[in-house]
A and B are shown apart, each in its own frame.
Chain A
């Protein structure tokens, strides 16, 4: 069993087949000339041993190599890369099966923000009439903690449309260090959701610990290969065209273990990539192909996702503008490129530029969510709760996002037009026009109860007041209060016994925890 996601029956295509080919050819040229700069000795050696042209760069302060990847290596890698990737889950029914040529969309959270946004509802009194009081939401940013990560995993477990959990925040408790961050973020997340968990790795030395933790939960090494409950995000190529040492080395190690990995590239049009669409597309595609090629050279057949996080620069700050229309254009182009290679796509939508939930946040995120979803990416991440250009996570916003993904999923249901439906409704039409009232209302009832009629917006208030935030907040607290299926006590005990660095307060079976 696996989650259904939503199958987009006629995916929107922004670029033509000819343009796809043109981008592909341009990317192959880029991989040869100018090629890439590589700061990972291991990667340079792997490329060299497979026939790529590798030359040490003597002028650089840190050891680096200039790599030219020939077309043949790239095309072999594309042949070898799996066209179907399974992301497992603690609850096997929550597994995600992604086929590179099937536009079935899974909606996923994201993406390790430093800031957690709290919300409360203070009461304000009208100056001219003190009998009039209103409650207005106030948002308070603060550094995120491991408790926040647990809370967001709990809520995400219960969000109906959310198919997989990417750690939402960067945990910054006083007792979290570079050495224990990975094990704690993996455990906090896995213990609070039965959905798939994906994350980046802070320190390569912790890879074996998190993989061992996953093995204990999945039921052993082979069980983890069968049901990979964890996967990794690696931004190994920094734009423009540079293999970064630490993430590239991490990527190599993950590929050697055969666990699923998103080969993610995040160029910014205007600063780290050309501002023109053709330019950023040729570059990001080259960067992702370089990563996929390395992964397949490390371990032929290792499962990889075509990871695309292209953005346009904001013209006022030169920061990322996830809310810009071009960002959605680039993402859709990438969806098409990934489908051309038949490799499942890790895509991006839903992040807004504004700092707090509100009208701008709704407009920006809904726009990108709709258009990118319609193009049919397999793994649509960053889709819940992200604000301020991916710097802030707000749980209330994630709950709001779930509501609009329900609308989007309903919209994408297969049209129910066939001979049987037509015959049934033709009968209704004849019956109704013969009645004095000429109303079809009685026929609503069974259809309404069968789920064929979309639900009303869940946060609609009574009367003329806007109660969206208050009702979503209520919903968020309801979800937080719901129990989740934690990792079993005996497995938890083993994890705490074997894996160093776990915070004792994360053990829900210790006295005083629940």
Chain B
């Protein structure tokens, strides 16, 4: 029975189905339990959270990654699966400590002051949640001081800053400076991304990392997590 549920969770991660209303990829999926319903059921049955995460969610995402490598899956498929894992992790979060699982880390994400573009940030949010991080999305057009206040209150390991415009990317520098002035810079690693920025720009403003796209952003944060 445990195996059946874990197997269904894995299958629904591959299908990218958050709830029973999602269509997934195969025909006739609507109405069948999605990842969130299956997680709730698994928790009610007392299935080990480690088992759910490693054999259900992680294994499912590994298979999704393989399908992506094989060009069977595309970015929308990866995102749908990541969204399903993210939703699952949200449900599992209160149970992690009891199972002796250390959270991967907390990340705050924001689009900087003057910039209302948030597609990239939202995609990164989904991917990071899917990778097992706790993500708090601060929103768009965020004043440096508001971001500093959030860092002080939430104590994240990472801060992700996004900008789409050349006119707003300069506010990334202001935000990092505000972190320094408030004495919080060494408490959080800052990763930036967005169309106009680059690795070189990240270095020039004192950021810790740069993600050229959503997947790269996750990879950079994973590498900074292990250092």
Task: Please report A residues at the B interface, Cβ cutoff 8 Å.
Answer: 436-439, 441-442, 444-446, 448-449
Residue of B nearest to A445 (CB): B76
Q: Does B125 contact A (CB under 8 A)?
A: yes
Which positions 14-73 of chain B face chain A at CB distance < 8 Å? 16, 22-23, 25
Q: Which of A437, A438, A445 contacts B25 (CB 8 A)?
A: A445
- Is the CB–CB distance between A449 and B80 below 8 Å? no
B77 / chain A contacts, CB cutoff of 8 Å? 445
A449 to B22, CA, bound (A): 16
A446 / chain B contacts, CB cutoff of 8 Å? 23, 25
Minimum distance in angstroms from B123 CB to a CB of chain A: 7
Q: Which of B16, B23, B75, B122 contacts A437 (CB 8 A)?
A: B122
Q: Does B137 contact A (CB under 8 A)?
A: yes
Minimum distance in angstroms from A323 CB to a CB of chain B: 38
Minimum distance in angstroms from B137 CB to a CB of chain A: 6
Q: A444-B76, A445-B80, A448-B76 are in contact. Are A439 and B22 (CB under 8 A)?
A: no
Minimum distance in angstroms from A27 CB to a CB of chain B: 55
B23 / chain A contacts, CB cutoff of 8 Å? 446
Q: Considering the complex of A and B, which 9 residue pairs feature the smallest CB-CB distances, nearest first?
A: A437-B122, A444-B76, A442-B80, A441-B76, A441-B79, A445-B76, A439-B122, A445-B77, A445-B25
- Is the CB–CB distance between B122 and A438 below 8 Å? yes
**Bitwise interface map of B from 119 to 157 toward A, beta carbon under 8 Å scored 1, else 0:** 100110110000000000100000000000000000000
Minimum distance in angstroms from B61 CB to a CB of chain A: 16
Residue contacts A-B, CB under 8 angstroms, 24 given:
A436-B122, A436-B125, A437-B123, A437-B125, A437-B126, A437-B137, A438-B122, A439-B79, A439-B119, A439-B123, A439-B126, A441-B75, A442-B22, A442-B79, A442-B80, A442-B83, A444-B76, A445-B25, A445-B74, A445-B76, A445-B77, A446-B25, A448-B74, A448-B76
B76 / chain A contacts, CB cutoff of 8 Å? 441-442, 444-445, 448
Minimum distance in angstroms from B48 CB to a CB of chain A: 29
Minimum distance in angstroms from B205 CB to a CB of chain A: 26
Given contact pairs A438-B122, A445-B74, A445-B80, enumerate 20 new A-B contacts (beta carbons under 8 Å): A436-B137, A437-B122, A437-B125, A439-B79, A439-B119, A439-B122, A439-B123, A439-B126, A441-B75, A441-B76, A441-B80, A441-B123, A442-B79, A442-B83, A445-B16, A445-B25, A445-B76, A445-B77, A446-B25, A448-B74
A442 to B21, CA, bound (A): 12
A436 to B129, CA, bound (A): 13
Minimum distance in angstroms from A419 CB to a CB of chain B: 20
B75 / chain A contacts, CB cutoff of 8 Å? 441
A449 to B27, CA, bound (A): 12
Which positions 54-108 of chain B face chain A at CB distance < 8 Å? 74-77, 79-80, 83
Residue of A nearest to B18 (CB): A442
Minimum distance in angstroms from A424 CB to a CB of chain B: 10
Minimum distance in angstroms from B39 CB to a CB of chain A: 18
A444 / chain B contacts, CB cutoff of 8 Å? 76
Minimum distance in angstroms from A301 CB to a CB of chain B: 49
A437 to B82, CA, bound (A): 13
Task: Please report B residues at the A interface, Cβ cutoff 8 Å.
Answer: 16, 22-23, 25, 74-77, 79-80, 83, 119, 122-123, 125-126, 137
Minimum distance in angstroms from A432 CB to a CB of chain B: 11
Minimum distance in angstroms from A287 CB to a CB of chain B: 53
B16 / chain A contacts, CB cutoff of 8 Å? 442, 445
A445 to B78, CA, bound (A): 10
A444 to B122, CA, bound (A): 16
A441 to B16, CA, bound (A): 11
B74 / chain A contacts, CB cutoff of 8 Å? 445, 448
A445 / chain B contacts, CB cutoff of 8 Å? 16, 25, 74, 76-77, 80
A287 to B185, CA, bound (A): 84
- Is the CB–CB distance between B25 and A449 below 8 Å? yes
Minimum distance in angstroms from A430 CB to a CB of chain B: 12
Residue of B nearest to A436 (CB): B137
A441 / chain B contacts, CB cutoff of 8 Å? 75-76, 79-80, 123
A438 / chain B contacts, CB cutoff of 8 Å? 122
B83 / chain A contacts, CB cutoff of 8 Å? 442
A442 to B79, CA, bound (A): 7
B25 / chain A contacts, CB cutoff of 8 Å? 445-446, 449
Minimum distance in angstroms from B27 CB to a CB of chain A: 9
User: B76, B77, B126 — which one has the most chain A CB atoms within 10 A of its CB?
Assistant: B76
A441 to B137, CA, bound (A): 18
Residue of A nearest to B124 (CB): A437
A448 / chain B contacts, CB cutoff of 8 Å? 74, 76
Minimum distance in angstroms from B159 CB to a CB of chain A: 18
A273 to B22, CA, bound (A): 64
A446 to B76, CA, bound (A): 10
Minimum distance in angstroms from B212 CB to a CB of chain A: 13
B79 / chain A contacts, CB cutoff of 8 Å? 439, 441-442
Minimum distance in angstroms from A451 CB to a CB of chain B: 14
B80 / chain A contacts, CB cutoff of 8 Å? 441-442, 445
A441 to B80, CA, bound (A): 8
Minimum distance in angstroms from A456 CB to a CB of chain B: 11
A228 to B169, CA, bound (A): 67
A446 to B16, CA, bound (A): 11
Minimum distance in angstroms from A448 CB to a CB of chain B: 7
A444 to B74, CA, bound (A): 10
Residue of B nearest to A439 (CB): B122
A446 to B23, CA, bound (A): 8
Minimum distance in angstroms from A165 CB to a CB of chain B: 33
Residue of A nearest to B121 (CB): A437
A415 to B149, CA, bound (A): 50
A446 to B74, CA, bound (A): 11
A446 to B22, CA, bound (A): 11
A449 / chain B contacts, CB cutoff of 8 Å? 25
A436 / chain B contacts, CB cutoff of 8 Å? 122, 125, 137
A123 to B123, CA, bound (A): 42
Minimum distance in angstroms from B117 CB to a CB of chain A: 12
Minimum distance in angstroms from A119 CB to a CB of chain B: 28
Minimum distance in angstroms from A115 CB to a CB of chain B: 39
A436 to B76, CA, bound (A): 17
A449 to B24, CA, bound (A): 12
Residue of A nearest to B22 (CB): A442
A321 to B53, CA, bound (A): 68
A439 to B125, CA, bound (A): 11
B126 / chain A contacts, CB cutoff of 8 Å? 437, 439
A437 to B137, CA, bound (A): 9
A259 to B76, CA, bound (A): 53
